Amino acid sequence: MVVINKIIDFIKENPVEYITAASIIYKIMENNPTIQKVELLELLNEIIQNVKNNIDDDSDLFKKLSDIPNQHACMIIKNNILSAETNKIYFLRQFNIALESIYSLHNIKALKMNDNISYNKNMINENIEYIKSQLSIDSSSLSISLLQNINNIDSNNLTWKNPLANGIISDNDTSILNNDKLCKQFNKPINNMIIKLSESIKKQCHDFVLNYKEDKKNDIADLYKKFTHNKQWIENNEELEKITTNILNVIENNWSNSAFTSEFAKEQSEGTYVADIIIPSIQAALKGLPFQQSYISTAERQSIASADRIKEGSGKRPDFMYIVKLDGKTFELIFGECSRIYCDDNKKRDDEIKLWREANDGMFWVKKLCKPEKEQFTIIGIQIAGKEIYLNALMTDKQNINRYYHLQKTEVPVQKTEKSIKVLPKFVKLLLNLRNILMINLSLLTNAPKVYTRRTKSSSTISSPKRDEDKQKKINKRKQKK
């Protein structure tokens, strides 16, 4: 089963043009060099059917996999029968030739594993060993339990998509946090982050739903001093009500926008959704922050933190980022990934992975420049998957291990519905908490000791297979020019 899952991951993680009968056969033989032809073909069929059953039948991958022989073809080869029952005689002969070629190339060691796979495995092991070493220093029951559970995980089953492989312990990793007591201990640093709304703000949201055409405009005064998370809002309730009014003004405009009614919503692109609803809502929530040299980038700008890790080539390009300049240095404090209003599970999963990878790079970049307070300073990740918005945060704990937390999720109030009375306060709560956390991050960043050495730890984020391949191509081209 482990072998099958590995091959399925290989098929899903790589570009469609890389997926052929030969490449799948080779990956099977990597895991079982002595496998017999008939058994190999049956395993090939099982893997292909498994993948096809879980993807759209109009996708490029489905069409590509459909060109590979099915179980009927396997039986023909098994019995050495090429009868009139099939019109694929020539194809089967060619497939047999390809199969024999893979066998022979494998046997003479002409085919070698991608060096980068070994490199990634080494880096995964280094990341896990680092976490283990940091946990072993601490004698608390939390560290002991975490270490025990991580010791039970086979690193060979981890890939670049797993937070643990990248040096992160995520709060939704049930293989590590496998009981309520352990989860409660692990979540202690974030217990004071998400704050309950006051009844007056809930009422403000309720009143807005009933009378959303009212024109309300207010500004927010600048506010700044040193803050930490203490389960209290930084700003008083009057100021929070003004910010809420700004947010509700954005919602009011969107509720009047026919582009997001059920009739037209499916036609809207990701860019329209981001530009008309998501970014204006976030901008309204962050309006009036004390930092003048800060802004939200929405042009899929290259991440400095990601580029610093990758070195060769360009860095990741989040859908949006919150960027601040402090003492001549640039920091990326919020990363955002967004989908269209209607989002499939694959897009949601891919964006979730991309987001914590970006946040991890962001934290390592900050720590190259300064030393913000542990278990207080965070890099924020915002994911919009369809009509749901997720507020996440990555922090460094006192053992210098990065933790990833899923703080809050709620529905985006795209249009006024029967659920708006309940949905809108939750949406406002998420945005106000985003503002509060960011203000604390800005405060901690300003007061953080500067780093004056270049001997800082590189990002623990594992490069994706496609990224490594592109990087190697560029290196090879430079070598050829020389």
Strand partners, 395: 378, 403
Contacts with 359 (C-beta within 8 Å, 6 or more apart), sequence order: 335, 379, 380, 381, 392, 393, 394, 404
Q: Is the pTM of this model over 0.95?
A: no
User: Residue 311: in which H helix or E strand, if any?
Assistant: none
Neighbours of 134 (CB within 10 A): 18
- 393 DSSP β-pair partners: 380, 405
**78 φψ region: left (φ > 0), alpha (ψ -120 to 50), beta (else):** alpha
Residue 93 makes CB contacts below 8 A (sequence gap 6+) with 82
Paired strand residues for 404: 170, 394
Q: What is the pLDDT of residue 248?
A: 96
Q: Looking at residue 19, what is its pLDDT?
A: 84
| DSSP state letter for 155 | G
User: How much is the pLDDT for 303?
Assistant: 80
Alpha carbons 106 and 103: distance in angstroms, whole number: 5
pLDDT below 70 — which residues of the chain? 1-3, 33-34, 69-99, 103-119, 212-225, 259-271, 291-292, 299-300, 310-316, 453-456, 465-482
Q: Are β-strands 402-411 and 168-170 bridged in parallel, bridged antiparallel, or unpaired?
A: parallel
Query: How does 53-86 read in b/e, with b if 16+ C-beta sit within 10 Å?
Result: eeeeeeeebeebbeebbeeebbebbeeeeeeeee
Which stretch of DSSP H or E encloses residue 386?
Answer: none
Angle value at C-alpha 235, between 230 and 236, nearest 5 degrees: 105
Are the CB atoms for 429 and 408 separated by under 8 Å?
Answer: yes
Contact 376, 444 (CB under 8 A): yes
Determine the pLDDT at residue 39. 79
Instruction: Give pLDDT tens digits for 341-358.
Output: 888 888 899 999 999 999
How far apart are the C-alpha atoms of 250 and 284, rounded to whole Å? 7
Per-residue model confidence (pLDDT) at position 77: 46
**Helical residues (DSSP H) of 382-419, grouped into ranges:** none
Question: What pLDDT score was predicted for residue 66?
Answer: 81
Q: Which amino acid is at 6?
A: K
Residue with tokens 């976030």: 282
What's residue 75's pLDDT? Answer: 46
